[in-house]
Structure 1
């Protein structure tokens, strides 16, 4: 890809995407530029770690970029855009990875008809395993969606969704890795309490998570069908699942996703 990409914001999500792109080698390192509001130490660290450019000069960052990735915290978006909007032009593709902020809101902040794509990757982008959803703003055409998809395909899988569904996406794949880690924490604790050493427990649990994910992707079967195949009547798996059901596991997970979605909506309404 012969494009220059500028990241406005240098938090964990920006780093995850940068890391994935660098490792995928879709861009030369010098084609990636990062800046943020005032944390020079942070962007200097990213420059050293990924051999990219870090620039505090907002004008240079914005003017030279073909693609501008907005990766700030939601409450930092407006001042960040205000600092670069006079240097933006409608030929640049704007990609936002900010939870809860609509493409219409971003277009209004920018003040021109730049194509805007909203992306929701997750932190697994850093190792090329992100699940990313994309939705297009009113000035974004098919060619812009294709360009954004090519970029995010380098860090995992992508899906094109209606923007109305992005709050739900945030609640599942955006925040989803944290739910998985929380579940793994509980399994690890149970294993260690039962006498298994921590290293062995983590190796087994991590591979179990990876294997289950690959089965979901490759088998073409539903999660319910795969669960039933593992569950023998009266067996150990059934005993474990009964404990989860008694604790309201499915209802708790559903509430978890609803809460994350609700927070995404709230973040959008505040901006």
Structure 2
């Protein structure tokens, strides 16, 4: 098997037809990222959903991609695609896949962005052997700063792996993990933005309650979180080391950290991520039961 170079991977992506089944914010982010990076052209991309015609018209106008509300044309989009992105909501996924599986064929690469749906469940729903890439992006992908966990079925080739990683790198960082660890990725980075927003909510409330205007509290909070994240990335240092550097003995930061420790802050965060990962596994089991019953 020939292993493609990074430039060859980019060239290969541009030659492939892609069909996005599901047209939500992550699908739009992927399309925008692929086009902005020059990895493909609008004519190579088709997008479809079940019935939201206005959304299809919006995306066609905004990006110049191919869309249709006609079932016959949508069938052709799926049949002709080299890569099929399954991006429907988990509650709709099993029914939607069962309706189109006869249109798909083993020569296609299937990329799933369906939360909770395992490769095994998807293989069962497809009813035929197909190479499957399972992914878990987060909402920051919509601004090109996403974090995506990626796992592969056994039949995915090395070149297909490279293609998938390159495409998701168009919207941020990627991490390849064993599939059983995608639930951890879900708990950590998939749900992670919400934890940061929750912290920011509390910081803004604290600033407001202590006398700042809400606008000032918000601006200071946003810049503080942004600066801290950039500091970790720019220096490459461990967050714990950076925290210690700004924590003077008997100073204000130490007093604040002691209060957080008294309220079990670290353990609460760890427990929250573990519970999110556990819930992801529970949701996956529920989807599998419904899909295979």
TM-score over 0.5 for the pair: yes
Q: Of 18, 42, 61, which aligns to 1:5? A: 18
Out of 224, 229, 238, the position equivalent to 1:208 is: 224
RMSD between aligned alpha carbons?
A: 1.8
Q: Separation in 2 of the partners of 1:51 and 1:205?
A: 38
Q: Is the 8 A contact 2:133 2:151 kept in 1?
A: yes
4+ residue stretches of structure 1 with deviation over 6 A? none
Shift of 1:221: 2.1
Name the counterpart of 2:158.
142
Deviation digits for residues 85-129 of structure 1, max 9, x if unmatched? 111111211111112111121122112222101111111111110
- TM score, norm. by length of structure 1: 0.93
Contact kept, 8 Å, 1:90 with 1:114, in 2: the verdict is yes
After superposition, the C-alpha distances for 1:11-67 in whole angstroms (9 at most, x for unaligned) are 333233334334334222232222122222333333334443322333122112121
Decide whether aligned partners of structure 1 residues 52 and 223 sit closer, same or farther in structure 2, where only a CA change above 3 A counts.
Answer: same
Aligned partner of 2:149 among 133, 154, 170 = 133
Equivalence for 1:234:
250
Distance change (3 Å), C-alpha of 1:101 and 1:41: same
Q: Which residue of 1 aligns with 2:272?
A: 256
Q: Match for residue 167 of structure 2?
A: 151
Task: State the Cα deviation string for residues 199-242 of structure 1 (Å, max 9, x = none).
Answer: 33333322222222222223232221111111111111112212
Deviation per CA, 1:182-209: give whole Å up to 9, x if none: 1111111212222323333333322222
The equivalent residue for 2:94 is 78
Question: Residue in 2 aligned with 1:23?
Answer: 36
Counterpart-to-counterpart distance in 2, 1:84 and 1:244:
52
Structure 1 residues 192, 27: closer, same or farther in 2, change over 3 A? farther
Among residues 162, 169, 179, which one is paired with 2:178 in the alignment? 162
Q: Measure, in 2, the Cα distance between the counterparts of 1:49 and 1:252.
A: 43
TM-score (norm 2): 0.86
Task: Work out the CA distance in 1 between the residues paired with 2:208 and 2:34.
Answer: 37
Provide the secondary structure at the position in 2 that maps to 1:99: coil
Q: Is the 8 A contact 2:30 2:170 kept in 1?
A: no
Alignment partner, residue 47 of structure 1 = 60
Question: 1:162-197 CA deviation, whole Å, 9 max, x = no partner?
Answer: 111000000011111111111111111212222323
Report how many residues are paired: 271
Aligned mates of 2:62, 2:213 — CA distance in 1: 33
For the residue of structure 2 that corresponds to 1:140, the secondary structure is coil
5+ residue gaps, structure 1: none
Q: Indicate if the aligned counterparts of 1:132 and 1:156 stay in contact, CA closer than 8 A.
A: yes
* Residue 268 (structure 1) shift: 1.0
Q: What is the aligned partner in structure 1 of residue 46 from structure 2?
A: 33
The 1:94/1:189 distance shift into structure 2, 3 A limit, reads same
SS at match of 1:263: helix
> Which residue in the other structure is 1:95 paired with?
111
Larger radius of gyration: 2
1:131-183 Cα deviation digits (max 9, x unpaired): 11111012112111100001011111111111110000000111111111111
